[in-house]
Chain A
Amino acid sequence: MPVPEVKESFAGSVNRVTLGATKDSGGTRTSTVTVGGARNVVYGGSIEEAGEKPIIAMDVLDSRPDDWPDALAENYQDVMDSPADWAKKCIEQFGADLICVKFDGIHPDKQDLDAAHAVNVTKEVLKAVGVPLILWSSGNDEKDNQVMPKVSEAAKGENVLIGTVKEDNYKALTAIALADGHHLITHAPLDINIAKQINILVSDMGFPLEKVVTFQATGALGYGIEYAYSIQERQRLAALGGDKMMAMPAICDVGYESWRAKESKLADAPGWGDVKDRGPMWEATTAICLLQAGVDIIRMRHPRAVATVKNFINQIWQ
């Protein structure tokens, strides 16, 4: 009796998502990016099954951050007061695939800046760079519901990736993202059941699932990366198993989480090595680890970490 072939193959795949709208499709982007499409686990199967290369979105804050460690901030001192220049630097000097504008400044506990400021930043960054944008809320539900719909409107037609929407706060932004033709980030707190539920909720509102990217929340190396890893892995396996509610590309926030780690920023730590190296290493290691679980878009901050991870991606997905 012949031995049956045991090659692993899957019925489902990760959705392919294209961000950005060029002139032909009613936007002003000079390029678009496409992610997703994997038909196997990372490293599994043939190269044809690997899908699109993962991409790196570099963070640009809407206002000057006052809590960034020196090793990180020194790369941006000249541009921190101008999100447009900051975005340009990330693209032209550091090789970012796209820009994630993070609206920290609108948070009531930070600078409590208003919608007019956020709209202005959005327009300026759109003007400054030709790549697609990610527009990311502050995390304060009430303020985000006031500001983010205006941000969405300001980027109408540009097919940005906007978020995040959560199980208990999704209606306002989902509705406006749908109206403005954007892609949407659904956000769950490291909980696969809630991740699925939020996708169902936005789908019930008529938002097309093929325009959704999931954010499962991220844990950095030493700070819960194992939870993030196993959830990303489970999401990928569910997608491959044909679960349409889990078949979205995934985004993770490596930059912010890695630079919260004390190992990244504590200068006075004998025996830990130079603080200038630790942060970028922490960030790159976190990113590379999560790439192997199956994430498609990584938010990052330090140019050296970005270079290391880009090199890794180019070697693996070729």
Chain B
Amino acid sequence: MIIIGERINGMFTDVKDAIASKNKQPVQELAKKQTEAGATYLDVNVGTAAADQEGTIQWLVETIQETCSTPLCLDSQKPSVIAAGLKVVNAENGLLLNSTPLNKKSDEEVFDKYMEMADQAGPKANIITLTMDKNGVPQDVDTRVAIAAEIVQKAMEKGFDTQRLFIDPIALPVKVPNAQVQVGNILNAMDQIKYLADPAPHMTIGLSNVSQGTSERSLINRIFLAMAMSHGLDSAIADALDEKLMNVVATSDMLMNKQIYSDSFLKVYTAANKA
């Protein structure tokens, strides 16, 4: 299971404050802690913490790279911010560009741009692609799968290895009126997306979205993660510092025979998965 640690995000107060005061220590601490907890990638998102998004993502990337070599996940809806991050990021150990829809009303070619940026960054640079297009986030199973199929096809046409795609069927907060049905839709969509290429493209999800605004966030995240993993999810943007959540990851991996059982299987999970 590939966990993308979500904590370095300007939406969190501690990160926002660190950005405002250019204080490296809290950011570096989060980078180290998430890595130790088993994060494969570290998400880097400026959020609303600064007006100068390009400059800030560069500062975050450089700050993190001073302390650890964990691959990064550059997170922005603006290609210009990702491009700024790419100028300073080290993609040798891996990289994720997070994220692009299939297309946008304002930019039909946005996915192509992300593939080009990934190619320029090197063979280990991957892309998170949302099952979303110019009409917005689909509410049903079929449209999600259809968009995912178009994403895979487009990648193949461009000669972009489908193993470098992390398809995100988009988790919606379960608390939003009428959104509860989306959880089942996402799982059903995953069952089909995994057959779009062989080997299957990666699938990822913004896990914490599903529990947004609820009273039992960690529990909902954990259960949903276990359910989604059994439907083929092999990656998630999640809180790597939530130990109970990471135990669910280790246990699910073990139950699905992806890790050989040992009496210390929980303890060893993070060590065994470190790159």
A residues at B contact (CB < 8 Å): 1-2, 4, 6, 192-194, 196-197, 200-201, 203, 234, 238, 241-246
Contacts and interface: CB of A to CB of B under 8 A. Distances in A.
B156 A193 contact: no
Contacts of B197: 4
Interface residues of B, number: 20
19 contacts: A4-B198, A193-B260, A193-B263, A194-B262, A196-B261, A200-B262, A200-B268, A201-B264, A203-B271, A238-B260, A241-B258, A242-B273, A243-B272, A244-B272, A244-B274, A245-B260, A245-B262, A245-B268, A245-B272
Nearest to A198: B262
B156 A2 contact: yes
B193 to A, nearest CB: 15
Nearest to B159: A2
Nearest to B263: A197
B58 interface: no
B264 A200 contact: yes
Task: Describe A's contact surface by its main secondary structure.
Answer: helix
Contact of A244 (B198, B267, B271): B271
Contacts of B251: none
Contacts of B258: 241
Nearest to A238: B260
A238 B258 CA distance: 9
B273 A196 contact: no
Given A243-B260, A244-B274, 18 more contacts: A1-B157, A2-B157, A4-B197, A6-B199, A192-B260, A193-B261, A196-B260, A196-B261, A196-B262, A197-B263, A203-B271, A238-B260, A242-B273, A243-B272, A244-B271, A244-B272, A245-B260, A246-B260
Contacts of A243: 259-260, 272
A164 B199 CA distance: 40
Contacts of B260: 192-193, 196, 234, 238, 243, 245-246
Interface of B: 153, 156-157, 162, 197-199, 258-264, 267-268, 271-274
A254 B260 CA distance: 25
- The residue among B162, B197, B261, B262 with the most chain A CB atoms within 10 A of its own CB is B262
A193 B272 contact: no
Closest 3 CB pairs of A and B: A196-B262, A197-B262, A200-B264
Nearest to B265: A196
A242 B153 CA distance: 29
Contacts of B198: 4, 6
B166 to A, nearest CB: 16
Contacts of A245: 260, 262, 268, 271-272
A200 B272 CA distance: 10
A18 B246 CA distance: 35
Contacts of A238: 260
A295 to B, nearest CB: 18
A245 B157 CA distance: 39
A250 to B, nearest CB: 14
B164 to A, nearest CB: 12
Nearest to B155: A4
A241 B256 CA distance: 14
Contacts of B157: 1-2
B243 to A, nearest CB: 18
A98 to B, nearest CB: 29
A255 B262 CA distance: 29
Contacts of B272: 242-245
A203 B162 CA distance: 37
